[in-house]
A and B are shown apart, each in its own frame.
Chain A
């Protein structure tokens, strides 16, 4: 009897059952979600379009022609029509993806980094530090996001950098809040207590035990903000607070074409459609990530 059991043990050890790992599972679940994969492909296509705009665009997005102003969709040489200065809409939309995408993604990423640091540290250290930090965050949270973005941009003045800055400030508080609440939950887990009992310092605990469990949910939340950021950034440009003409940017294009709705309504609506497609793709992608990573809330 005893000989048999001692024989069995080494066999079990030499053939360990390796679990496929968390990320493999996430990837498998994500692949099964057709909507999310489709949205991901659209996002990828838009990113590629922005990166290779110089090679894809059929014409120069800034070359205007007074003779060919406001041509309808399908005009020879102007597949998506021409804008109010006779510039090729298709080329402008392709080039516009650069700045629009940049303005949508970059503020969220900076806010993700800054907000995580604020939220995780507040959640982990707790006490007075938490109170002071989170009450300060609450002040910014007390503004509707559109209002905060417009207040900051309006005071700072127009420009790409200023709208980037104000959007970043808009997204830090919600991310910090999520980070703080998730960290507070993780901090009271038994394994954190065990790590502390076995002599791990705060740095090690944050790096090994907290970040690994906290960054996923925060990241998923941050991706859901990208579509908001795209809409807000284009909205700021729409109000004349973003980039300056003749730079192609979807929000600004929508603004300058606003007066053209009586002449070429569907050409005027195109830049907004581009914002819409991008924002909905990011939203569906984020929803897919959320269920694939099994994040609650």
Chain B
């Protein structure tokens, strides 16, 4: 919640700052800046690149600030590390009262700080000491060194002067507590009593995320370096990503190789159209992920199964794209080609095929995206190598940094595929959308 508010604040703050800077700087006189009506004019709304850069930086800043990253100068308050103490008052079964002190300290890892030595004090309650690990709570058996104990009926009646009448021995017939457990405010944290009357000390947790939930950016980066060199689960990072990519490319290529001719046939022949229409229309809405169990039954969890799955994921998309490309040919183009003396084959080769390229590229971009998503999911289920397998295994060992690294790299590769496809498209079909 706090993170969301900070994010919104950065969004609004950056907007006004950038606008202020822009108005202060020299006036731009391009066509869009001279338009007086921009609201509702779609052509006047292009992505503000400054906003994009700030957006990415903001995410990294928030990530770093809330994980205590050394790359970020400002941090959210972290968990308390250090010492503290508080007093508690014990009621002896015979009615006497005595006060003792708890000395506690939070250490970054177990054994990082030396145990505190406490001197015996007078009275039946003795001082206690406890070490607590960062982000954790510590349970203190305060009666361990006292002259009485909880079994005998001794209980805490006040912490730092905050009284309580909580009695852990007061139970109903079912053995449940009859009173709510009290909560005491202490310096740098809080304390409470357990069901059995022991002390539970919870130091301030701060606003930062524990590495097991969200590791700092540099931890993820060091994992990238480590796995790129030494590897994880018998394969280096490049091998994992390379295998995933290889499967996608091979599966997509097979899908396109079958799908495009099939789509052409469906666009050119009513028999093919009629024969394959029910199959294609039925298979198109079936998510490829739903086919994973069947593919595993048929082909096992090896490479063949994955290629078949990706082939099926790409096949229907490419078929429909090719069919739409053929059907979308302007009939005057075909007429023109005929009256210029072109044969059927020449019309196929010089008119219908190039005319369908824009549609096929749109389909190919969609298919590559779907294949990339499907391969990761298929590797999550079962694989020996691959990006999905890497993060699945890492998550079982709670290696959140590897999981995070995997997700980021999967995103980057997916984005890279799309950009590459767009480049190829702009190069091969420059007339797209300009006919």
**Chains A and B belong together in one complex:** no
Chain A interface residues (CB < 8 Å from chain B): none
